[in-house]
Structure 1
Amino acid sequence: MTTTADPATGSAPPEGAAAPPGARPPRWWRLLGRDWAAAVAATVLGAVLLVALLGPLLIGDRAVRQNLDASLRPPSLDHGFFGLLGTDVLGRSVLARLVEGAGTTLSVAVPAVLCSLVVGSALGMWAGFHGGIRESLAMRLADAILSFPSLLIAVVVLYVFAPSVGNLVAILAVARIPVYLRTARAESTELRSRLFVDAARTFGTASWPIIYRHILPIALPTLLTVATLDFCFVMLTESSLSFLGIGIQPPEVSWGLMVAQGRQYLQTAWWIAVLPGVAIMLVTVSATVLAAWVRLATDPAQRWRLTLPRKRRGTRPVTPEVTA
């Protein structure tokens, strides 16, 4: 008698025991707890989100409050909690500005990613499901947007119009639509020939209900993974634009703007530019690690890898031979 490994756990079931037909996969928090790197990444992102939501209520106006007597103080506990990470040239608390900048940076990156995800995915699944001229038009639209560098488009548009959060979100959302359009179109093109889609058509189901009920649930894990990685790109783009002086404008605060304002003090007050740069790096690395974990956790064929020790995740589950 030969027993195969359980794909949900990665280990073979006990001899003589049959796997339950309706067994549920492990809960996502259990899978997350088995991967320390993904757990740390999720903790970092959760902490940043919590700081962005609740931090401005706790710091008040300390992010913009000036005190020239406290100019360029190094990180120290001697000047209270808000002096923990030092002050800038105007005596403003770097810690308070990091908290305020987290909310501003996320208020640009999150809406831009969500808008491009919804619009690009809907258009891509619609084009891939119908094919023909609709698919060709959608792909030519994606090619037209991709033919211009997104950073160059943002520089030109923000130079013509006033730099603001709304303009940044709109530009970055439009520039990232082709990423989701192409991904959703590829998923929809492959799924439209499946038997369950043909069965839905046979019963007279309209196109959008088929896309929403049958194609979207299967394509969603891939789209969410792309969105998690795209979040890093959008946040870095916003930081780059703020660094160039055409993104977030004072008195608003963002991490990219803090790096730009502190670059001329790198030799005398390194903490002004280095600390927001470290914050940007931590968030982008955490989002990348979590995206890899989400891709495995949402794929039933690959989820079993998360139940193995981290050193064995590159190997296939062993199929032991048991003699009756």
Structure 2
Amino acid sequence: MSEGRIVIEETEEEVPAANGPEDAPGPTPAPKSPPRWWQLLGRDRVAAAGAVVLAVVLLVALFGRLLIGDRAQRQDLDASLRAPSLSDGFYGLLGTDVLGRSVLARLIDAAGTTLSVAVPAVLCSLVIGSAIGLWAGYHGGRRESVAMRVADVILSFPSLLIAVVVLYVFSPSALNIVLILAVARIPVYLRTSRAEAAELRSRLFVDAARTFGTPSRQIIHRHILPIALPTLLTVATLDFCFVMLTESSLSFLGIGIQPPDVSWGLMVAQGRQYLQTAWWITVLPGLAIVLTTVSATVLAAWARIATDPAQRWRLTLPRKRRGASAAVPPEMIP
């Protein structure tokens, strides 16, 4: 009996110690806020490098002409076809063309011309195509059929061929190139936004908004557009590369940007006959086109993952764990 009492007493003494203030659970830690987009971009070196390249190109296109003045058109026949060197000053860093004009200054001037064609064309086709596609996909029926048939008719003709024919009939200019490329690329956004709206119109939150009498325009603007916008922006980033390459191709063929204006494609066309003796006239603008398009493609791939809540967690992993080994989120791994 005495032994039993001793055991009971020891047990009773241990209970308050276990429930004392020292062993009490601490406050629940606050959940971590999701990383910002710039934090996710900083963890991906390739995408960050692409963003830096695009930012530099954009800044050069916006402010470069204010710094170089008329250097891009200034001729000096005594300095014709000089190779890149540091002895000729800053503007001789990338050499000169056959008329003695600075290739560096012309690259800066051409960046503004190229982006002034590509960016408006992409924005116009994005806005018009997305608006028609969301409207047709949400309402369905005959409206959707008519919109899709119009898109099929435009897509049945190659956009480059349409641009060649139209610019051959009318005078080649930057405005005509923007209009032609914008119309030719509208079906891309129309089909994408139509598919997104057709899938979202049967969701529960859309049915609830429709039940409460919300107008169709507000449902599309408040509920469908925010979900479809990341996909549309990703498509627009990729389409920017296509439009820029198309403009360069038209300028190379001689029916795009016309002198005295200059674009990267026009610089490649003007320097192709001096490729063996003055490679920098053609190679450097071609390299600018390649770097810009590759950077935009890489950034579009990163943006597609960063804007998808189901895939964003991949960007938070260390670089060694990305790829096939990271098939499921870390919290689901046993």
Q: TM-score, normalised by structure 2?
A: 0.89
Give the match's secondary structure for 2:277: coil
Distance in 2 separating the partners of 1:268 and 1:127: 56
- Residue 317 of structure 1 corresponds to which residue in structure 2? 329
- Residue 242 of structure 1 corresponds to which residue in structure 2? 251
> Is 1:145 the counterpart of 2:154 in the alignment?
yes
- Residue 86 of structure 1 corresponds to which residue in structure 2? 95
User: Alignment partner for residue 130 of structure 2, among 121, 132, 146?
Assistant: 121
User: Alignment partner for residue 29 of structure 1, among 38, 45, 49?
Assistant: 38
User: Alignment partner for residue 178 of structure 2, among 133, 152, 169?
Assistant: 169
Give the match's secondary structure for 1:85: coil
Displacement of 1:141 after TM fit? 0.6
> Is 1:57 the counterpart of 2:69 in the alignment?
no
Unaligned stretches of 5+ in structure 1? 1-15
> Is 1:215 the counterpart of 2:227 in the alignment?
no
5 Å-filtered alignment, 1:174-213, equals: 174-213=183-222
Counterpart residue type for residue 304 of structure 1: W
Distance in 2 separating the partners of 1:79 and 1:232: 34
Is the alpha carbon distance of 1:142 and 1:17 closer, same or farther for their aligned partners in structure 2, counting shifts above 3 Å? farther
Instruction: Note the aligned Cα RMSD (angstroms).
Output: 1.5
Is the alpha carbon distance of 1:320 and 1:222 closer, same or farther for their aligned partners in structure 2, counting shifts above 3 Å? closer
- Residue 5 of structure 1 corresponds to which residue in structure 2? none
Give the match's secondary structure for 1:248: coil
Counterpart residue type for residue 70 of structure 2: D
Unaligned stretches of 5+ in structure 2? 1-25
* Higher alpha-carbon Rg: 2
- Residue 299 of structure 1 corresponds to which residue in structure 2? 308
Identity among equivalent pairs (%): 81
- Residue 275 of structure 1 corresponds to which residue in structure 2? 284
Counterpart residue type for residue 247 of structure 2: E
- Residue 9 of structure 2 corresponds to which residue in structure 1? none
Counterpart residue type for residue 104 of structure 2: L
Counterpart residue type for residue 278 of structure 2: A
Figure out how many residues of one structure are paired with residues of the other and give that number.
306
Counterpart residue type for residue 299 of structure 2: L
> Is 1:40 the counterpart of 2:34 in the alignment?
no
- Residue 66 of structure 1 corresponds to which residue in structure 2? 75
> Is 1:289 the counterpart of 2:301 in the alignment?
no
Distance in 2 separating the partners of 1:281 and 1:127: 36
Displacement of 1:203 after TM fit? 1.1
**Relative contact order, higher structure (CA 8 A, sep 6+):** 1
Distance in 1 separating the partners of 2:269 and 2:301: 31
Displacement of 1:320 after TM fit? 4.7
Displacement of 1:17 after TM fit? 9.3
Counterpart residue type for residue 174 of structure 2: V
Q: TM-score, normalised by structure 1?
A: 0.92
Distance in 2 separating the partners of 1:125 and 1:248: 34
Moved more, 90-99 or 202-211: 202-211
Deviation by residue 1:22-60 (Cα, 9 ceiling, x = unmatched): x64211110011000010000000000000011000000
Structure 1's consecutive aligned runs of 4 or more residues displaced over 4 angstroms after TM superposition are 16-21
Distance in 2 separating the partners of 1:55 and 1:19: 50
